[in-house]
Amino acid sequence: MTRLWNTPAEFADEMVDGFVAAHPRYVRKISGGVVRRAVSPEGQVALVVGGGSGHYPAFGGLVGPGLAHGAAMGNLFASPSTQQVLSVARAADNGGGVFLSYGNYAGDVLNFDAAQERLRAEGIACETVTVTDDVASAPLAERHKRRGIAGDLTVFRAAGAASAAGYPLAEVARVARLANDRTRSFGVAFTGCTLPGAPEPLFTVPEGKMAVGLGIHGEPGIDVVDIPSADELAALLVERLLAEVPDGADGRVIPILNGLGSVKYEEMFVVYGRISALLEAAGLTVIDAHVGEYCTSFDMAGLSLTLYWLDDELADLWETPVDTPAYRRGSVGAVELSDAPDEAPVAEVVLTPGDAESVALAETVVAVLETIVATIDQNVDELGRIDAIAGDGDHGIG
C-alpha cells in the first residue's frame, strides 16, 4: 500500500514538484508536466510522451537528451488533459514539429488526439503513434486495440533516437510505428496496487495465486493460476511471446524484464537467468538485456517481459546515447542548459463583459458544471469500480 502522502488529491502535483526539485539539471516544470532542461537544436522534432502518474519512470523520468523532449503528466492513473498536453507540446516545440506517443488507453487517446488537432490548427506539424504492445489485451488481428505497457520504452527510444539523428517528423513517426510493430509484452501480478488515501487496492489477487495478462492499472487479465517457481514463470513469459514473433524478425532481440513496483531486483535476476537461457535455446541473439523498473504501477507486485525485435535501422538507433533522470545509456556529452524559468508566465486574458442574456447563459453553464463535478465527487468510488471492470484503466483520482 502507499503509506506516505499529505492530501491524496494533491499527491500527483506534489510528486511532480519533488521530482523537478530532485532533477533540476534534467527537467524544468511547466503547466501540465515537464520539459528538457537541455537545449535542443533548432528544427529538431520534439518527442512528447505522457500518461497518468503512478508509473515512474514513465513518463517524466524519460525526459532528456536522446529520449523525450517533454512529458505530459496526468493525475494518478488518469490521462493528462488536452490542455496539459498542449502546454507541454508548445513548450517542447523546436520548430520541427511535435511527435506524440503514449499507451493506448481511451482517456489518453481522447485528450492527445484533441491536442494534436489544436496544434495543427496553430500551424504546428504533429504526428502520433500509440503503443500497443500488450499481447494479452487483444488478439493479433486486432492489435490496434491492445494496451500499451512496458513497451513504451522501446517506442519512445526509437522515436527519440530518430529525432536526435535529425529525422524529419514523418520519418520519426515511421520509425516509431516500426518499433511498435516489433514490440511484444506480457505481464503477471501477485497483488494489486493502492492509490494514496484509498482504503483498499484497485484489485486483489487471491493469496498464493497469480493474475496472468492484466494491465498496469489492474485491467482484467486472462487467467488466475497458482504462483509458479521462477523458472516456470520465465517459461510462461517466453513461451507466450515467442508464439507471436513479428514479421521480418531476424533473431536479434532486446528483452526487457520490467518490475511493476514491489518485486525486488534480486527476484527479477533469478527469473531473467532462466529467460536468457530460454531465448538462447530458441536460437535468438540477445542484445542489451534490461532488468529493472521501466513502467511501474505504484506498489503492484508483478512483472512483465517485453521482447523488442530489431532490424539494422532499429539496432543502430538503439545505440543512441540517452541521459534522463531515470534512464541512461552511453555518453551524451556536454549539453547546454536552458535558463528559462520553471513556470512560463501565463498571458493575461482580457475579457469583454457580455450582454445580460450572455451572462445569464454563462451562469446556467456554471451551475451545470458544478452539478456535474459534485455528482462525480459523490460517486467517485462507484465510477472507479465500474471503470476497473470495463477494463480500460484510467480509473484513478482523475
| Least trusted range by pLDDT, from 164-178, 191-205, 228-242, 305-319 | 191-205
What is the pTM (predicted TM-score) of this model?
0.92
Please indicate, yes or no, whether residues 27 and 138 belong to a single structural domain of this protein.
yes
- What pLDDT was estimated at residue 390? 63
Confirm whether 397 is domain-assigned: no
- What pLDDT was estimated at residue 395? 53
Overall average pLDDT of the 89-116 stretch: 96
| Least trusted range by pLDDT, from 75-89, 162-176, 200-214, 249-263 | 200-214
**Residue 205 has what DSSP assignment?**
-
C-beta separation of 49 from 68 below 8 A: yes
Please indicate, yes or no, whether residues 236 and 159 belong to a single structural domain of this protein.
no
CA distance 112 to 92: 15
Confirm whether 3 is domain-assigned: no
Confirm whether 63 is domain-assigned: yes
C-beta separation of 54 from 297 below 8 A: yes
**Residue 42 has what DSSP assignment?**
T
The parent domain of residue 381 ranges over 356-390
Mean pLDDT of the residues in the chain:
93
| Least trusted range by pLDDT, from 48-57, 162-171, 172-181, 388-397 | 388-397
Please indicate, yes or no, whether residues 201 and 217 belong to a single structural domain of this protein.
yes
**Which of 23, 55, 69, 217 is an active site residue?**
217
Overall average pLDDT of the 128-141 stretch: 96
Per-residue pLDDT at 332 exceeds 90: no
- What pLDDT was estimated at residue 381? 73
| 23 is known as an active-site residue | no
| pLDDT band, very low/low/confident/very high, at 343 (cuts 50, 70, 90) | confident
| pLDDT band, very low/low/confident/very high, at 196 (cuts 50, 70, 90) | confident
Per-residue pLDDT at 397 exceeds 60: no
Q: Which of 251, 282, 313 is the last residue of a domain?
A: 313
Confirm whether 171 is domain-assigned: yes
Confirm whether 349 is domain-assigned: no
What is the percent of the chain where pLDDT is above 90?
A: 79
Residue 128, judged by CB atoms within 10 A of its CB (0-12, 13-18, 19+), counts as middle
Q: What is the secondary structure of 65-76 as a DSSP string?
A: TTSBSEEEEEEE
Per-residue pLDDT at 294 exceeds 80: yes
Please indicate, yes or no, whether residues 20 and 87 belong to a single structural domain of this protein.
yes
Q: How many domains does the chain have?
A: 3
| Least trusted range by pLDDT, from 187-196, 336-345, 372-381 | 336-345
Contacts of 334 (CB under 8 A, 6+ apart): none
